[in-house]
Amino acid sequence: MEFVENLLQAVDIARQAPSSHNCQPWKLVHIEDRRMRAQLLPAHAWAEHGQLLLLGIDRKRTLRALPSLALEMQLSCGMFLGLLSAAFDALGFHCNWHWLEMLEAQAPAAMPFLQSLEQGHGCRGLVLLALQPQRVPDATAFAGLQDSVRQRRTHRAPFAEGSCSDVVLAQLLERHWPEQLTGDQLHLRVERSPALIARAADLVRQFAALDFSSYRAWKETYRYLRFDPRKPAEDGFYLHSLMGPMSPLRTRIMQCVLAPEVMQVLRIVRVPHNMAAQLAALVEDSAQLLLCSLPSDDLASTVMVQAGARLMEVWLNAQRLGLALHPLSVMLQHDRARGQLQRLAGGNGRIVFFARLGAIRQRHGECLRRPLAAIIETHGETV
């Protein structure tokens, strides 16, 4: 019972991880059945208080409008895993990560048991997290982590004026988490050149309309817009979090205007392009951009999940420094837009994250989150 309390505390922190449309695509399975644990990790010596968790992508919550969203689901799960691991570390647990892609090669006999778990819990497995209590919990570290994640927001408003100093940027990119968790392949670049930022804004102005004018993509996005702040929600985002406070009448008007069928008609008068121009203006007004890339287009899920954990580490650093991020995923979800952005950045490999970066001017907006019971499932009883 004591571990269940720790699990709830850790997941309460991990569920604050960001995700596309705030869809929160995580599924966590607590594997209590000792036989199943031994089949999945046969070489692992299970101590009396050892615990095993399977992290996967919840199939019911996966975004599917665009092929590239599969990568974003893995990145989001990596962010969740990073926070989950940091929370368990503060709670006194030693963490070991067993990547399922590698497990398939090392222990093929475990695959039928893994497939059974995935089918039974409706997820696509990514990593097994083995936990062993080893230390007295660090209450100060846990409280600090808890405070950071609860304050973190995706900042869609203008940033405060001024660019970050070299010292601040060095602190932003500092490593605190184990390399086994975060990997060593994600390359992070902060761009402060006004000329490059202006060219990036031009690309956003040119391509961001794809997100608003694509019926399939916008229909999926629209599902996550919440128009009535009086109605509780567990995912997506309230309209006023995107567009600022507005009257009930204007909210109702926007609900109609933004409907996918209406947006298709409004393409005639270039409404999607006007929305893209507003986003481009925010980019142009930014003092710096963050570009994150991996060395190859061959993106294994392990590499993407580790990249997500590393990105979450940087995002927490930003929060502690009074900085915020505004991801511009539309530039990565369409091949032509991503290709143009990569050519502008002049790097090899594949960009997997692109965001505005700056000092927080004001804090606002709710952070809708799924209940803990919807994220955690239990498999079997200890025998």
> Domain count of the chain?
2
For 92-142, the pLDDT digits (tens) are 999 999 999 988 888 888 899 999 999 999 999 999 999 999 999 999 999
Tell me: do 207 and 231 sit in the same domain.
yes
Contacts of 292 (CB under 8 A, 6+ apart): 186, 187, 188, 189, 307, 311, 351, 352, 353, 354
Asked if the structure places residue 338 within a domain, the reply is yes
Tell me: do 137 and 187 sit in the same domain.
no
Cα separation of 126 and 116, whole Å? Answer: 14
- With cut-offs at 50, 70 and 90, classify the pLDDT of residue 241: confident
Asked if the structure places residue 365 within a domain, the reply is no
- In three-state secondary structure terms, 172 is helix
Contact 309, 82 (CB under 8 A): yes
Asked if the structure places residue 181 within a domain, the reply is yes
Residue 74 CB coordination number (10 Å)? 24
Share of the chain above pLDDT 90, in %: 74
Q: What is the pLDDT of residue 365?
A: 65
Tell me: do 117 and 209 sit in the same domain.
no
Q: What is the pLDDT of residue 340?
A: 94
Tell me: do 78 and 175 sit in the same domain.
no
For 278-299, the pLDDT digits (tens) are 999 999 999 999 999 999 887 8
Q: What is the pLDDT of residue 219?
A: 94
Q: What is the CA radius of gyration of the chain?
A: 21
Tell me: do 65 and 103 sit in the same domain.
yes
Cα separation of 20 and 14, whole Å? Answer: 15
Query: Mean pLDDT of all residues in the chain?
Result: 92
Tell me: do 63 and 98 sit in the same domain.
yes
Q: Examine the pLDDT at 347 and tell me if it is beyond 80.
A: no
Q: Examine the pLDDT at 1 and tell me if it is beyond 60.
A: no
Cα separation of 187 and 152, whole Å? Answer: 23
The conformation of residue 162, written as its DSSP 8-state character, comes to S
Tell me: do 190 and 327 sit in the same domain.
yes
Tell me: do 206 and 322 sit in the same domain.
yes
Asked if the structure places residue 364 within a domain, the reply is no
Q: Examine the pLDDT at 232 and tell me if it is beyond 80.
A: yes
Asked if the structure places residue 19 within a domain, the reply is yes
Asked if the structure places residue 265 within a domain, the reply is yes
Asked if the structure places residue 58 within a domain, the reply is yes
Q: Examine the pLDDT at 380 and tell me if it is beyond 80.
A: no
Asked if the structure places residue 326 within a domain, the reply is yes
- With cut-offs at 50, 70 and 90, classify the pLDDT of residue 381: low
Tell me: do 223 and 104 sit in the same domain.
no
Mean pLDDT along residues 249-275: 91
Q: What is the pLDDT of residue 367?
A: 82
Tell me: do 328 and 315 sit in the same domain.
yes
Mean pLDDT along residues 218-238: 92
Query: Residue 380: is it exposed, middle or buried by C-beta count within 10 angstroms (0-12/13-18/19+)?
Result: middle
Concatenate the DSSP letters of all residues of 265-309 into one string: HHGGGTHHHHHHHHHHHHHHT-SEEEEEEES-S---HHHHHHHHH
Tell me: do 58 and 95 sit in the same domain.
yes
Q: Examine the pLDDT at 259 and tell me if it is beyond 60.
A: yes
361 closest CA partner among 324, 336, 326, 335: 324
Cα separation of 317 and 322, whole Å? Answer: 9
Residues found in the chain = 383
Q: Examine the pLDDT at 144 and tell me if it is beyond 50.
A: yes
Mean pLDDT along residues 22-29: 96
The CATH number of the domain holding residue 199 is 3.40.109.10
Tell me: do 341 and 237 sit in the same domain.
yes
Domain that holds residue 26: 2-149+371-379
